[in-house]
Every structure is written in structure tokens, then in C-alpha cells.
């Protein structure tokens, strides 16, 4: 089955009891047992729920892994994955991962004795050099936010395997439609399903897929033990949203390419960052490891004042955090998502005050161009 067909026919189809084509919302907490321990596969909805199970089967199939698990948010998903590790363990983490990822590792898991070193994962040698005897995993995102740096999943997987450690990939930006980290050698892939997978700015959720059944079993143990599960309503919303992931991702990409090319031709923009542009430093790698370049673009308009003007004038780009929805969103990372990073460090990273990030929606691209044109001029 090809990906677009898998998006429609993958996972569990409908309801065997009624023939309903859509998986019903099993709004239930407990299940009748015929005798002690004798049941139809469900005992209590923290442990397992049919609607959530359909979603978990679906994402496992889409990512090509042995087991999928659904959580109440991307952070709940990651926190459960991090609970695989113990006091004294060490992680090598990308230096520009999602802010919440950095926060939960440095301010929560560090208190429980988990140590981490932050390195630029697009520099494979730096990752290798950071590995210690107590290192248990490499955690990476590709492309990163907002600078859209691309890291080589296969090369980092080779390092992980040589050191007998796990490779964890946050696949939020690319989704399984464009990129399959497990096929490139990753052990665990996770998502903020709040973004492209949900796609409609109406649900907060996280998904995890383990390549190996044993790791999947351990993660299910942790999901049940910790309890950060996704409810049946939101599981159903995600199932519904994900059916159109293929058509949405194609449109996001088409619009993003058109906008990136249009921005790159203007002489009043200092820099346009989009992995699909040949000028992007990791363009060839992006082309090699993914089937598309995604819908995120960052560009530098020169100053905070000009960025403010653009934000004030745009009509179709909603000023908001988050990304990956059908509507176009716009933000200024230096003063929004990345405001907690000290100014000096931001400058080092290249997150300038004039840097604008857009999550390109699926509106008519000519309207998006017209809108940016009037806002920039």
C-alpha cells in the first residue's frame, strides 16, 4: 500500500459490530468482564481504549513501527519516552530542539538524575564526540525550528547502533507523509500531533511509535503506569484529521515552495530559509532523506520594527504560536517561541529580531503572496 492509500485504509477500519465506516468514539472508562480476568481485550481505558487503539494502530502502520501509542500532548508523549531512562543516564540532545523539549529535560528530568549534553545534530562528528559510557540515547529534530536545519538520520542511526544506544526522532515538522525516521534507522519516532497530523488547530495530542516490539511493550507499560493518555474524543478527532494528511501536506508544500521562491527573489529580505531552496545548506540531505520539504519557512526582514509592521499588516496569516494547520500562521521566534533564550545565545544561533516564521496554510497561494506583498511594501 502506498502512503496515500495507507492514510485512508491503514490501521483499524470502522466498527465490526455495526459496520460503521468511521471508528466510533468509545466514550467509556471500564469494560464488563465475564469472569475475573476474562474480557474482550479491554479492561480499563487508561490501559486501552478501542478508539485510541485504532489511532495507535494507524500511526504505527504509517511510521512503519511495531507499536504506536497516543498521549494527551506532544510533551506527555516525550515525557513518557524519557521515562525509559534512569538516574545517571545521559542523553545527547539537539541544541535547537523545541523549547518544551529543552525545558522538560533541563528542569524536570534533570532533577530525577538524567543528564544531557546539547549539540548541533547536523554536525555528526559533534554528536559522536558527545557520547559517553553512560549515554543511552540521541534525541533529534529534523528540520529544526525556526532555523530549519536538517540532520542526517541515517548517519546518526549508525552512531547510535555502534554505541548500542537509542535514536529518538521528533518527526512533527515532516510527518510520516514526507519522512519515515524508523526506515532510516531510528528506534523511536514521536510527534506533536497537535500540528500537521491533527492539522485543524482543534486538538492537542502526542503520538509515539517504536520500531521494535519490545521497546513498544516497555512504552505501553510506561503509558499505563504514568497515565498521560489521549481521550477517545481527541483520538477520534486525530483519526479524522489524519485521513487528509496526504492532500494537506501536498498543498502545504506546493504553497511553501511558491512562497519561498517568491521571497528569495525579493531584495528587501535579508535571508530566506527553506530546505527546498537550493541555497539551503542542507538542501541535498533534505532531498535524500525525505520526500518533501514541508510547509515551514523562516525569513529575515532586517529588524524587529519591520517584523512588527509585517505582523500588523498581514490579513491571512494569523499571529499565533503553533504550526501545521490548514490556516497560515505567522510568528516572531525571538519574541515568542524562543523568548526564553538569552539574546546573546539567540544571536549566536541566528534567531535575529527580524526573523519571521510562517507556517504556510492551504489557502490559495496567490492570496498569500498578495497579502505578504502588501505587508512588506
As measured in angstroms, the least distance from the Cβ of 234 to ligand PLP is: 11
67 is catalytic: no
Active-site residue (options: 67, 149, 195, 248): 195
Contact indicator for 74, 172 with CB cutoff of 8 Å: yes
Measured between alpha carbons, how far is 64 from 47 in angstroms, rounded to an integer? 23
C-beta of 101 vs 269, nearer to ligand PLP: 101
Active-site residue (options: 96, 152, 170, 371): 170
Question: DSSP character for 334?
Answer: G
Active-site residue (options: 4, 6, 46, 313): 46
C-beta of 38 vs 107, nearer to ligand PLP: 107
98 is catalytic: yes
As measured in angstroms, the least distance from the Cβ of 267 to ligand PLP is: 32
The three-class DSSP label of residue 256 is helix
Active-site residue (options: 98, 177, 190, 274): 98
As measured in angstroms, the least distance from the Cβ of 75 to ligand PLP is: 4
Q: Cα 298 to chain center, whole Å? A: 17
As measured in angstroms, the least distance from the Cβ of 94 to ligand PLP is: 10
Q: 268 CB contacts (<8 Å, ≥6 apart)?
A: 301, 302, 376
Q: Strand pairing of 318-319 and 296-300?
A: unpaired
C-beta of 65 vs 74, nearer to ligand PLP: 74
C-beta of 29 vs 233, nearer to ligand PLP: 233
Contact indicator for 244, 106 with CB cutoff of 8 Å: no
315 is catalytic: no
Which residue, 201, 192, 172, 177, is CA-closest to 325? 201
Which residue, 331, 309, 313, 76, is CA-closest to 204? 76
Query: Given the rule CB under 6 A, which residues bind ligand PLP?
Result: 73-75, 98, 100-101, 141, 145, 170, 172, 192, 194-195, 204, 206
Cα atoms in the 13 Å half-sphere on the side-chain side of 283: 8
As measured in angstroms, the least distance from the Cβ of 201 to ligand PLP is: 12
C-beta of 78 vs 365, nearer to ligand PLP: 78
For the chain, give the number of residues.
377
The residue number with the shortest CB distance to ligand PLP is 74
- Please give the positions annotated as active site: 46, 98, 170, 195
Amino acid at each position: 500500500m502506498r502512503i496515500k492509500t495507507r492514510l485512508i485504509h491503514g490501521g483499524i477500519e470502522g466498527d465490526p459490530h455495526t459496520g460503521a465506516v468511521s471508528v466510533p468514539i468509545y466514550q467509556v472508562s471500564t469494560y464488563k468482564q465475564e469472569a475475573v480476568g476474562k474480557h474482550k481485550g479491554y479492561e480499563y481505558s487508561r490501559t486501552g481504549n478501542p478508539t485510541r487503539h485504532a489511532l495507535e494502530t494507524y500511526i504505527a502502520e504509517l511510521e512503519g513501527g511495531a507499536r504506536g501509542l497516543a498521549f494527551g500532548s506532544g510533551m506527555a508523549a516525550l515525557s513518557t519516552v524519557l521515562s525509559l531512562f534512569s538516574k545517571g543516564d545521559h542523553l545527547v540532545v539537539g541544541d535547537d530542539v523545541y523549547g518544551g523539549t529543552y525545558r522538560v529535560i533541563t528542569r524536570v528530568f534533570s532533577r530525577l538524575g538524567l543528564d544531557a549534553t546539547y549539540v548541533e545534530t547536523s554536525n555528526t562528528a559533534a554528536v559522536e564526540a558527545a557520547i559517553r559510557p553512560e549515554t543511552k540515547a540521541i534525541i533529534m529534530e529534523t528540520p529544526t525550528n525556526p532555523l530549519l536545519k536538517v540532520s542526517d538520520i541515517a548517519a546518526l542511526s549508525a552512531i547510535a547502533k555502534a554505541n548500542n544506544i537509542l535514536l529518538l526522532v521528533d518527526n512533527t515538522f515532516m510527518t510520516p507523509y514526507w519522512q519515515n525516521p524508523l526506515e532510516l534507522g531510528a528506534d523511536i519516532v514521536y510527534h506533536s500531533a497537535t500540528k500537521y497530523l491533527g492539522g485543524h488547530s482543534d486538538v492537542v495530542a502526542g503520538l509515539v511509535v517504536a520500531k521494535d516490539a519490545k521497546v513498544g511493550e516497555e512504552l505501553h507499560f510506561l503509558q499505563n503506569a504514568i497515565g498521560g493518555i489521549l481521550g477517545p474524543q481527541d483520538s477520534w478527532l486525530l483519526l479524522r484529521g489524519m485521513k487528509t494528511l496526504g492532500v494537506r501536506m501536498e498543498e502545504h508544500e506546493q504553497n511553501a515552495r511558491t512562497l519561498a521562491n517568491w521571497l528569495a527573489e525579493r531584495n528587501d529580505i535579508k535571508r530566506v530559509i527553506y530546505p527546498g531552496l537550493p541555497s539551503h545548506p542542507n538542501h541535498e540531505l533534505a532531498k535524500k532523506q525525505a520526500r518533501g520539504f514541508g510547509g515551514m519557512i523562516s525569513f529575515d526582514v532586517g529588524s524587529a520594527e519591520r517584523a512588527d509592521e509585517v505582523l500588523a499588516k498581514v490579513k491571512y496569516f494569523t499571529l499565533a504560536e503553533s504550526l501545521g494547520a490548514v490556516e497560515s500562521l505567522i510568528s516572531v521566534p525571538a519574541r515568542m517561541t524562543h523568548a526564553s533564550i538569552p539574546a546573546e545565545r539567540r544571536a549566536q544561533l541566528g534567531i535575529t529580531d527580524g526573523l519571521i516564521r510562517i507556517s504556510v496554510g492551504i489557502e490559495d497561494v496567490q492570496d498569500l503572496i498578495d497579502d505578504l506583498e502588501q505587508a512588506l511594501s
